[in-house]
Amino acid sequence: MKTLMMALAGLFFSSATLALDADQFEAYIIINKDTVRGHIITNDLESVHLLVNFETADGKITQYKPGEIKRFAINVLEQWRRYVVLDLGQATGAKDTGSTLVFAQVISDEGPVKAYKYRCYQNKSIYSTPGDLPSADQRGLISETCLIKGPEVLRLQRTSVFGNTKKKLREFFSDCPTVLASLNNVKNAVDELPGLVRQYNRCRLRS
């Protein structure tokens, strides 16, 4: 009984600490097609891609991983950020626990090209310098943008070589001369992707 009380006290303390140390953002989540309103509690909005702490109106805090809920949205400075679940086909956590899912922020989901961004963990060998021989537990946090056009998927890391990124984007947007022309003046391809995606979708919808 004493052990149980200590465990419950620890749980209460950790929840209270979470609420005190972090910011609260107006939010809603979708559970079994029902919309539940409340707050997402976090001290780093970039951390919500792998785990969210959701507080209901009655003060109950529940942690959700990708797949446990399919969608949610956060109100940040009167702008709603929407998130959906993507399956990246490879482990996304700090440790390879088998989960390949991530909460991805929606950049654009209207039109032929869908765009999302997220942060997740990958094996260090994916982005380390040649000659490195990382062990299985060497995983690093990366920021990535994902473009989806039908069966075609393009994933771009913020650390990608600029020339290679522009080359991949030219191939991906090859059927829209307007976007290809815009790419000539792009200084940071990843940062300017939202505008390029909107431009491409307008181009394709007019054709």
pLDDT 10s digit of each residue in the chain, 207 long?
444 343 334 444 444 444 456 799 999 999 988 999 999 999 999 899 999 999 999 999 999 999 999 999 999 999 999 999 999 999 999 887 789 999 999 999 989 999 999 999 988 654 444 454 444 557 888 999 999 999 999 999 876 555 688 889 999 999 999 999 999 888 888 888 999 999 999 988 876
pLDDT of 160: 58
**pTM assigned to the model:** 0.80
H/E element, 206: helix 193-206
E-strand stretches of 57-157: 61-64, 71-76, 79-87, 101-108, 114-123, 139-149, 152-157
Q: What is the pLDDT of residue 49?
A: 96
The answer to whether 90 touches 44, Cβ cutoff 8 Å, is: no
Instruction: Answer left, alpha or beta for residue 134, where phi above 0 means left and psi between -120 and 50 means alpha.
Output: beta
Distances, alpha carbon 15 to alpha carbons 58, 88, 108, 143, 192, in Å:
14, 31, 34, 28, 39
Q: What is the pLDDT of residue 10?
A: 46
pLDDT of residue 157: 86
The pair of three-digit structure tokens given for residue 128, joined into one six-digit string: 């380390």
